[in-house]
Structure 1
Amino acid sequence: MAQFDPAAATAAYLAVLTPAQHAKAQAYTQGGHWLLLWGAIVAVVASWLVLRSGVLVRVRDGIEKGSPKPVRVAFAVLIVDAILEFILNLPWSAYSDWWRETAYGLTSRSFGGWLGEQLAAGLISAILFTLLLVGLYTLMRKAPKTWWLWGSGVVALFFVVVMILAPVFIMPLFNKYQPAPPGPVRDEVVAMAKTVGVPSDKIFIYDGSKQSNRYTANVAGLGSTSRIAMSDVMFKKDADIAEVRGVVGHEMGHYVHAHVFIFAALYALLALVGFFIIDRAFAPVARMLGAKDVRGLSDPAGFPILAILLTVLGLISTPIRVSITRIAEADADTFSLEHFNEPDGLAKALVKTIEYRAATPSKLEEVLFYDHPSVGSRVRKAMDWKAAQQKVDGVS
């Protein structure tokens, strides 16, 4: 019997796509790297325009005349800012999130459908992040020297709360979730969930294809809000049981290893560093931008300055942020292989994601930009696992 060759098996899986398809995926992926820079520039310009317009100062002054309560002032100013920046960023969002996705065949959604969803998402984001920011501005007023320390904890709490509530109150606004129908797929997922201690009573299929043609599943929520959801794209692309086991096993790994709490802690640490820098940089940046009527860091009318700083820091920290996620994704792959032993199922599913994530980037590109390990490395990992298992089985 010929010895199994992981390198040859990996090459065979990657060869499922033609050279032209790989080239298209590479163009899409590398173009996406540039979008990070251009998107940051657009966001900075939008914030600068809002700041220079003086609209937020006028809103602040008008609200203070009728109600000097700082929370009301902050809420009103931040909502106005959210609306203005949403409008200013909309043309760029239309290009990057709809036109480009359509051009690469990654969505079949109409512009009207996309725009309607953007408006709804923008409204929800404006409310949620305004509440978060009102809390941060309250800290700035009450603890001006240490707000950045307490603020990182607020960010962590906010992250966890949103992750808990999103499956119940937010996600159903954008997709229709239906209980997975009785059959082999549901039976297999239920058995998998019971094996690793994931709640098995909420297994759904959702119409993810209306937003994207991407192949995905997820486990979301905590405690009573936990649920397993598989995009209908998985079934439109002829997923078999082995693929379902590989992909859903990966998502269960995120849940069992409590990655949501790890993300919350690490993002809180990033927020701590970022807020500390903002605390020191706000005043000189405000002077540089000519924000004469902004009273200081705790003045919500100066939020565009804070937004510019957050955008720049976010861009600079991209390698750190994507590496945090990439490490968790690799851990979830390992979990899937160890508990459900479907290297070929996982590999077949991964190959279907190459169209939106180039399979073989350079190591530097992967470290700087990839929030998942490259498909090539993930398939090779699965094939190495398969080879190791065959050796074990051969010995036994």
Structure 2
Amino acid sequence: MNKFAKWLLFGYFIYAALVVFYFLAINDSSNLPEIYRGSAADPHTFMNDRQLELTYEYSKIRHIIFFLLTPFDWILYLTILSIGLSAKFRQWAESSSKYSFFQKAIYVFWLSFVSFIILLPIDFFTYQLSKSYGISTSTFAIWMKDQLIDFWLDYIFLLLLAIVVFQLIRKNEKRWWFYAWIISIPFTIFLMFIQPVIIDPLYNDFYPLKNKDLEEKILDLASQANIPAEHVYEVNMSEKTNALNAYVTGIGRNSRIVLWDTTLSKLSDDEVLFIMAHEIAHYVKKHIYAGIAAYLIISLFGLYIASKIYNWSIKKHWRTLKINSLNDIASLPLLLVIISFLTFASSPLSNSFSRYLEHSADVYAIEMTKDKDAAIRSFQKLTIAGLSEVNPPAIVKWLRYTHPTMLERLIFIENYEVEKEK
């Protein structure tokens, strides 16, 4: 298996070289179809030369990092398996406690800790990169605090996954995937319910809008959609980023429409109202529930396929992998690789559905505000603030973009016929 690990790393380096070559030597991110030159989507019409240069540079680097890191987790977990480190974690856990729960807790901690330490320098590089391009404003202390919060949240969720899944495998080796999916339904809904009030406040402070004049305008807009006032929140993101954003989170009485304070400070009132109308659309059209339903449907098929691959891999290579049985906790890295790979493979489908919902929200927002100019300006400012690529490569769009590209959004709005109120 050491030989396997070497070939694994060799293959990854070849892949990495091809990725870098494609984005640096072949792909031209500055290319815009001639038909769109001079339009609202042409970055030359709303960006200066320095902003254009930074956007092209930053976009290329971000694309490279994404395509390098996506399989890196797979390589990491497969290496941990192939060199016997996962089996070693299991031995440490079994020698530390005779109780199954604590054995799993100890094993998951070691797996999480080693992964965290290996990935921390990479995360730090991306943080420094974002800071060097003026996107991140976070201090090292704030960044490190978020990293530690991520670690412990990931640890808790991974431990819950390990406890539930391996118990189900022990009870039913053939249909554990289905029972795991059944359990995931209430868990997913519960997680969405508590996220705005428990998880999100761990990272940032949330409070009602400070600008009372703007608050009145937003509440008037929200009332047209029958949204209660308490669903509009502001979050202090300026201590972490210069980017702009707004989003909808949570379900039921805990659902919230959230605006970053950077959005409020850098956009005019009419631009903020368009952004708010877009987020209101998600609430009115129940896109969160549609997203949950789509996730559960995809995960049903994904878990079925994962179970087939997992069961076959263990039964075929259990000696080589140093795994004692299907419900051996040491096989957790293999399960994570399979789930991660299938999630990545399904991303074109899930991203496409997400882009459809976002486009639907754009249509709702422009019909609600009747202000095309504000809509165009808001998207242009979002592009500048995030150094976002207007027309990314197709492979980037399909694998990364949960929203329509800025080219698609700006051209759509520019050509959209708004029926003015009489």
Superposition TM-score, scaled by structure 2 size: 0.82
- Residue 195 (structure 1) shift: 1.1
- Matching of residues 13-32 of structure 1 within 5 Å: 15-32=45-62
Which residue does the alignment assign to 1:279? 307
Alignment of 1:307-346 (within 5 A): 307-346=336-375
In structure 2, runs of 5+ residues without a counterpart are 1-35
Question: Which residue in 2 is equivalent to 1:158?
Answer: 187
CA distance in 2, matches of 1:179, 1:159: 27
| TM-aligned CA distance change 1:130 to 1:241, over 3 Å | same
- The 8 Å contact of residues 326 and 373 in structure 1, kept in 2 or not, is answered as yes
Tell me, in whole angstroms, the C-alpha distance in 2 between the residues paired with 1:288 and 1:127. 29
Assess, with a 3 A threshold, how the Cα gap between structure 1 residues 281 and 222 changes in structure 2: closer, same or farther.
closer
1:242 partner SS? helix
SS of the residue corresponding to residue 412 of structure 2 reads: helix
1:252 aligns with 2:280: yes
Where 2:40 maps in the other structure, the secondary structure is helix
Q: How does 1:216-365 map to 2 (within 5 A)?
A: 216-237=245-266, 239-286=267-314, 291-354=320-383, 355-363=386-394, 365=396
* 1:347 Cα deviation from its structure 2 partner: 1.7
- Indicate the residue corresponding to 1:378 in structure 2: 409
Distance between the aligned counterparts of 1:93 and 1:290, measured in 2?
35
Pairwise CA distance, 1:220: 2.1
2:25 corresponds in structure 1 to none
CA distance in 2, matches of 1:153, 1:8: 52
Runs of 5+ unmatched residues, structure 1: 1-5
- Once the two structures are superposed, residues 27-70 of structure 1 have per-residue CA deviations (whole angstroms, 9 ceiling, x without a partner) of 3334333323311332123323433213322144335x622x4x
- 1:262/1:133 Cα in 2 relative to 1: closer, same or farther (>3 Å)? farther
Q: Distance in 2 between matches of 1:226 and 1:24?
A: 36
1:215 shift after superposition: 0.6
Cα drift, residue 16 of structure 1: 0.9
User: Residue 156 of structure 1 contacts residue 264 of structure 1 at CA under 8 Å; is this kept in 2?
Assistant: no
Give % identity.
21
Q: 2:235 touches 2:258 (CA, 8 Å); kept in 1? A: yes
**Matched letter for residue 392 of structure 2:** P
1:366 is aligned to 2:397: yes
> Matches of 2:338 and 2:42 in 1, distance apart?
46
Cα offset for 1:158?
2.8
Provide Cα deviations, 1:288-331, integer angstroms capped at 9, x if missing partner: 69654322332222101112222322333332232232222112
Q: Quick one: distance in 1 between partners of 2:350 and 2:128?
A: 26
The equivalent of 2:129 in structure 1 is 100
Structure 1 residue 91 corresponds to structure 2 residue 124: no
Distance of 1:366 and 1:173 partners within structure 2: 31
Mapped pair 1:39 → 2:72: no
SS in 1 for 2:136: coil
Q: Which deviations, in whole Å up to 9, do the C-alpha atoms of 1:271-290 show, x marking residues without a partner?
A: 22322222222255455696
Q: Distance in 1 between matches of 2:183 and 2:221?
A: 35
Residues 321/62 of structure 1: CA separation in 2 closer, same or farther (3 Å cut):
farther
Which of 48, 63, 66 is matched with 2:98 structurally?
A: 66
2:89 aligned partner: 56
C-alpha distance in structure 2 between counterparts of 1:43 and 1:143, whole Å: 29
How many residue pairs are counted as aligned between the two chains? 381
Task: Write the deviation string for residues 96-132 of structure 1: whole angstroms up to 9, x where unpaired.
Answer: 3x02211221102122321121111211222133224
Alignment of 1:139 onto 2:163: no
> Is the CA contact (8 Å cut-off) linking 2:249 and 2:288 kept in structure 1?
no
**One-letter amino acid matched to 1:235:** L
Alignment check: 8 A CA contact 2:195 2:250 kept: yes
TM-score by length of 1: 0.86
Q: Per chain length, whose mean CA-contact separation is higher, i.e. which structure has more relative contact order (CA < 8 Å, sep 6+)?
A: 1
